[in-house]
A and B are shown apart, each in its own frame.
Chain A
Amino acid sequence: MSGDGRPPRIELRGVERIYDRGAADEVRALRGIDLTVGPGETVSIEGPSGCGKTSLLNLIGLLDTPTRGEVRWDDRPVGERTDRERARLRLERVGFIFQRFYLLPTLTARENVELPMRALGLGRGERRDRATALLTEVGLRGRERAFPHQLSGGEEQRVAVARALGNRPGLLLADEPTGELDLANTEAILTLLEKVRADRGASLLVVTHNPSVARRARRHLAIQDGRIVGDVREA
């Protein structure tokens, strides 16, 4: 068994996301977002801190729902799906690389990588083989049994990358995936993500401040104050 690795077609129409709506300190994170991401696209998302990049990823990755407007996956409004269906889509089709890694502290590096595969029902042997291969690809061979508190920030980030790829997702969402990495590891991770995209036609949306990361994308979104202020496609 494996994830449903089909890259989704994603559309956002008139999307707004307001946190603490009605409160004195309500935050309008996204305003009037219209965006379509086709299967297999590579998109970089850039913008200053607090401009709404992570909020946008959360909506696209089905972690959140818009306050107004509509998010569609494969032409079906996400709002029509139940929590359980959205969770299943995340498990099968989305690989998240969170800015803060979000590794489970009580699990080893390998167990963290295996966690989504286990939920998907993969056998023990296949889980182990896949996790070992992924950890090797991100340069963590020999660190499989380390707990997160025994890893450096860069190592944690690489475990998070390996975990995101475990179920062979069709959509990879990466929030500053190389923020803690040195140059060599940054190149290795970017090469790995590029390979995944090329091999399986996965879509890749990357939030980054790193120009070398952004350069790898074919489409560049710029966000400011919750609005898309630039959308450039390379020829």
Chain B
Amino acid sequence: MRLFGSGGHLRHQRLQTVLTIAAIATAVALPVVLLGVGGGVSSHELSNLQNAGYQIVISAAGLHGIANAHRLTGQLLALPEVAAASPVLSIAVDAFPPGKGAVPSLAEGVIPDQFAPTLGPTEDGLFPQPLPLGDPTDLVHYDNGTYAGPATYDVLVSSPFAQAYHLAVGSTLGLAPVPNATEAVPYSVTGVFGVPLGTLGQTGAFALLLPLSDLQVMTGYARGAGTPVVDAADSVEVAAAGAVSTEPGALAALQRQIQAMVPYYTVSTLSQQAAQLQTAASVLTGFYLALSSVGLTVGLVFLALVLLRRVESDRRSIGIRRALGLPPRAVVGPVVAEGLAIAAIGAVAGIVGGIALVDGLAAWGSGAVQEAADLAIFVPATMAELAGAVVVLALVAGGLAARSALRLDLLEALR
């Protein structure tokens, strides 16, 4: 039986058909993009958690962070189950490479000999060891919170940053909390570190590593009264010692012990964070699918309308088939087959189009959109499920049209 033959419906009502295919393709492309990008970002975050060199995170948001980082680190290191406690204190600063204007950069203040043990497998070998930041414990400059000791003014720069601005060990780099060169303090580049694959974007890639107390002096309360920038401490990463790091019960006990030390902070294990992330990803996936089902329903309505119109315009042919005594399957088969063909074309176009769109965003997009698109993952099983959903919807639409065709008054149809 010829579906697209001479005088076929697709020729005669091409515009309707093309619009329906476009509607279905859009409805399919939406979940392809959302699930691909959302799944990719979640997977990336999960991978980061699973590959980290620490097991517990203390979230110490806002003002408490930098001011308490040394004190808290000291308390944690006093616990026998703790191998390292590394504050991760991040803030955007402005860097002034020689002869250049302000370059927004992500500065991380660290205690050098605590930072190294918390590096995970994916960061292995990316940082020079030991970290060439002059004051391994950061206690000299910190001097019990007085900052009276001598600062090192050492900084490590990421390799993309070094490459972009021709920085090398021995270069001078001005750093300031605001885009004002007169406030910049000259730092000496003492090393270059690599950036893990999948690091998100220019801000993440243009990173600096410097002693915790230097960052404190540059951006936080240590600058003195009238400072325009507050501390930006966000967490302390804790690496457990020995078997505690791999034994869930012991890790949970350590978590409770730390929580008791800092009752106002959130203390969580990475496995808990991973579980939360997966839960959040599942919720998002459900939301994406709900959103997509709206699109697919619109596509179904389009398809049903086109097929019903096809029944109307082909009522003579349908009447002839019925007059000849053909069974219902032979009467409505062409209508259902056309619905399936339109849906299949739309589904394939949607899947291919969605993937192409994400690839395009990854190649030519900018900012966070490009970063997220770059991480997208397209799971074949998900694509197959989407295509299956479209086929089911096409059968529903075809069924509606078939019902209409079989209910036509025979003699009316032949007129």
Q: Point out residues on A near B: beta carbons under 8 Å.
A: 58, 63-64, 84, 87-92, 94, 96, 98, 102-107, 111, 115-116, 118-119, 147, 149, 163
One of B2, B7, B316, B324 near A116 (C-beta < 8 A): B324
| Chain A residues closer than 8 Å to B262, beta-carbon distance | none
Contact B7 A115, beta carbon cutoff 8 Å: no
Contact A119 B326, beta carbon cutoff 8 Å: yes
Q: Which secondary structure dominates where chain B touches chain A?
A: helix
In the complex with contacts A106-B5, A106-B6, A63-B411 CB distance below 8 A = yes
Contact A102 B327, beta carbon cutoff 8 Å: no
Number of interface residues of B (CB under 8 A): 21
| Chain A residues closer than 8 Å to B320, beta-carbon distance | 102-104
| Chain B residues closer than 8 Å to A102, beta-carbon distance | 316, 319-320, 323, 414
Q: In residues 294-345 of chain B, which contact A (Cβ within 8 Å)?
A: 316-317, 319-328, 330
**Measured between alpha carbons, how far is A9 from B323 in the docked complex, in Å?**
20
| Chain A residues closer than 8 Å to B5, beta-carbon distance | 106-107
Contact B411 A92, beta carbon cutoff 8 Å: no
Which of A91, A106, A111, A149 has the most CB atoms of chain B within a 10 A radius of its CB?
Answer: A106
The 4 closest A-B pairs by CB, nearest first: A91-B325, A90-B325, A119-B326, A87-B325
| Chain A residues closer than 8 Å to B319, beta-carbon distance | 102
Contact B322 A105, beta carbon cutoff 8 Å: no
Contact A106 B325, beta carbon cutoff 8 Å: no
| Chain B residues closer than 8 Å to A90, beta-carbon distance | 323-325
Contact B324 A63, beta carbon cutoff 8 Å: no
Closest-CB distance, A151 to chain B (whole angstroms): 13
In the complex with contacts A102-B414, A106-B317, A147-B6, A116-B323 CB distance below 8 A = no
Closest-CB distance, B320 to chain A (whole angstroms): 5
**Measured between alpha carbons, how far is A137 from B57 in the docked complex, in Å?**
90
Q: B166-187 toward A: CB 8 Å interface, digit per residue (1/0)?
A: 0000000000000000000000
**Measured between alpha carbons, how far is A149 from B326 in the docked complex, in Å?**
23
**Measured between alpha carbons, how far is A117 from B24 in the docked complex, in Å?**
37
| Cβ of B19 under 8 Å from chain A | no
Contact B325 A64, beta carbon cutoff 8 Å: no
| Chain A residues closer than 8 Å to B2, beta-carbon distance | 106-107, 111
